[in-house]
Each structure stands twice: as C-alpha cells, then as structure tokens.
Amino acid sequence: MKTPKRLLPLVEEGLVDEVLGQLMSGKEASVYVVRCGADIRCAKVYKEADRRSFSKSASYQEGRKVKNSRQARAMEKGSRYGKKMQEELWQNAEVDALYRLSAAGVRVPRPHLCYSGVLLMDLVVDGEGHAAPRLNDIALSEETALEYHAMLVNQAVRMLCAGIIHGDLSEYNVLVGADGPVIIDVPQAVDAAGNSQAAEMFERDLVNLRSYFSAFAPALKDTQYGKEIWAHYESGRLTPELPLTGQVALDETLADVAAVLLQVELAIRENEIRRMCQTD
C-alpha cells in the first residue's frame, strides 16, 4: 500500500521498511501493520488534537509533570508552542506508561520508540499469528469470561501497584492474544498518586469490566472489585498476589451522635465568643 504521510519520516530514517496495511482507525489514532527488518510490528499514528474525539484530556493530564515552567505557562495560555508541548506530553505519556507497565509484568504491547508522532510497538497476534481481535469482537463462554475477567482484574492491580490507572479500560481497549487478554491504548493513563480523580477513574475501569463480563458470567454482577482493590491500595496492603473476593465489608459501627452534637455546640459557643470580642 501507499505509505501514509505521517509514516514517511520513519521510512526515510530506516526505522520502518514497509507499510503492510491499516489495522484500525480510532478516536485517538490510526494503527498500521509495518515491517521492520524481519519483524512485523504495529505503528500507532496519533491524530492531531483538533481531530481527536477524546474530550476529557484535561482531567487525565492532572498530575503529569512538565519539563520546565516555560512549557507549563505556554500550555496554560494555549499558545501554539503550548499546544505542541501538550501533544508531546500526551504522546510521551503512553510511551512512558508502556515501559513502566511492561517492567511491572502487565500484559501490554512492548514499545520500541516514539518518533515524529508515531509509536512503534509489538503487534499483538492470536494463536494463528494474525492480528489479535478486540475483546468486544469475540464470543465468550461463561468459563472463559470468568477466566479473562480474573486476568484483567489482576492486570489492573499490577497497574495500580506500579502507580498507574488505565483511565479508559473497557472491552474496546483489550486485545485477545494467543495467551489471553492484552491491554492497549494508554495515552490517558493516570498517575494514581497525583490525580484527584484517581479513585473514581479506577472504579470506573473495574465497573466497565464487570458490566461487560457479567453478560457472559452473571455471577460477576454483584462483585465490587474496584472498591475492594482501592481500599487495599489506600491501606498500603495491595500486591499482585493479594487474594481478592470481589466483596467489600460494610462499616456497621454506629456513629457517636452525642460526640458530634458536642462538637457542634462547642463550635457555636466559640463563634459567639469571637463575635463578642469583636464587638468590644
């Protein structure tokens, strides 16, 4: 096929020898199958900001570090330079996340490089060597649904232990490779410790998994893995090997109403004394 314009720099630099075909086109990027020497890989070509349909990028970028104050100011002002820096930050976030997740044992495509707005990484394949399908595109038995759900919950735990939350995890961002599910698309990956909405995003990821898999395995409908995992994370007990039940124990301790009322009364008296002193 004709080499897409955005891939020409990689061909000219000898990083890609041949573009074999387009794999998919999504809200964030287009993905192509390419040949690099003897290896078949995929090239993710990011779309320009004004052509993206992912509208929540601001909330996902909270907590991400900027190289210097000049770049931070430019991004706040929305200047041309600032927008360029914002795009680089968005793209580099995926590369950094993939390296960190790979090192943490999370099942993600292995990255090779990011050059001129193109991320080059391993191609995930099925048992026959073909490009792996999305989870959403295959039918599951109840047994397989339970198996894949357990695998992905464990992957979410491993990501959180590495300080990362996917932020947009669903059946559309999972490929089914020869050895099971592989998580993809992490440019919006969230810093678990640096984003004020981290808990909410993690819960949403796990609810998305529950909603999808429970259609094949009804036993998953009442599970609460997101809340259970986050409670362990906040307590510092979370590890990839920690046994999970999918249930959260309710706090049934009674509130000390008398103590609360006493605090309210003391606050009222304190305000009255303050007003009297101001009058005098």
C-beta atoms surrounding 258 within 10 Å: 8
pLDDT less than 50: residues of the chain? 53-55, 64, 66, 71-72, 74-75, 82
pLDDT at res. 165: 97
Give pLDDT, residue 248: 86
Q: Dihedral of CA 116/121/125/129: which sign?
A: positive
The fold for domain 5-235 equals Transferase(Phosphotransferase); domain 1 (1.10.510)
Residue spans per domain, the chain:
5-235
Phi and psi torsions of 121, nearest 5°: -150, 175
pLDDT tens digits for 16-66?
999 999 999 887 889 999 999 999 999 999 887 655 544 455 555 555 454
Q: What token pair was written down for 166?
A: 């996917």
Q: In this structure, are residues 40 and 107 in contact, taking their beta carbons and an 8 Å threshold?
A: no
- Could you tell me the pTM of the whole model? 0.78
pLDDT of residue 268: 77
CA distance 4 to 218: 45
